[in-house]
A = this chain, B = another copy of it.
Amino acid sequence: MTSDLDLDELRRNCGYCAIHDFRLPAGLSAGDLQTLNATARDMLPLDRGQTLFPQGRQFGALYVVRAGSLKTFVEGSEGDVQILGFHLPGDIMGIGGLINEHYPCTAQALERTSVCELRYAQLQEVIANLPALNHQLMRVISGALVDEQSHLVLMGKQQAQRRLAVFIRRMSDRYARLSRDPLALILPMSREDIANYLGLALETVSRLFGKMESAGVLSVNRKSVQILRRDLLDELCGGDIDMA
């Protein structure tokens, strides 16, 4: 029923995205994939700065990043912003909206970005007949939770330098999983975004980049970050527990 060609086709759509980057242990059949794919819908690409969904909007769908990147953040009543995370291809977004029917944060593109949409109503129907997919979705959500917790540990009492070092190492690891060069990062977010995400001032981030550069760990040029000495970087990260 499913030829090699069909599978190839699947590999280029969101169904495959989801499978691949949900970090699923290959629990789904080709047929499952097709069913999942039928519920996925491509969307118009977003330009830099455009929002995928704003904080407070009625929940309706999950999204999977196909290309590009986004940030999610919450905005306080006093206009203060806290960035919650950065999202690369394969990441799933919008899970927080499940709990009370509204997205708890805004998702905004950091560059030209395309995503595909999984209408939740449809997804529910599909899931009801596919226990494997159901379990995998659960795992993905659990993974998101654990990622948040890792970040929390970082924000707890870690030194500024360690925060940045861990941030870079995690980005490197994520790039590796995407088959990008893990030693030549092109960071899509601004210094201000990084600083906010890490709970630091942007000047501090800038200074630390400088410091790590003169220490020979990195070579930094605006958005481009080369990791020259992974061993030293690991040292700066210290006994960081990475739960993911």
Contact = CB atoms under 8 A, between A and B. Distances in A.
Given A95-B142, A138-B138, A152-B151, A243 B104 contact: yes
A75 B152 CA distance: 13
Contacts of A27: none
Residue from A82, A131, A152 having most chain B Cβ neighbours under 10 A: A152
Given A76-B239, A98-B142, A149-B74, A199 B104 contact: no
Interface string A183-226: 00000000000001001000000000000000000000000000
A83 to B, nearest CB: 8
A43 interface: no
Interface residues of A, number: 49
A143 interface: yes
A99 B155 contact: no
B128 A124 contact: no
A77 B139 contact: no
A238 B76 CA distance: 9
Contacts of A153: 74, 76, 82, 84
Query: Chain copies in the assembly?
Result: 2
Interface in A140-159: 140-146, 148-149, 151-153, 155-157
Interface string A61-88: 0000000000000111110101010000
B124 A131 contact: yes
Given A84-B153, A95-B145, A156-B196, 8 more contacts: A23-B99, A74-B153, A82-B152, A82-B157, A98-B138, A127-B134, A138-B138, A148-B148
What are the 7 A-B residue pairs with the smallest beta carbon separation, nearest first? A77-B239, A98-B142, A99-B143, A104-B243, A78-B239, A148-B148, A155-B155
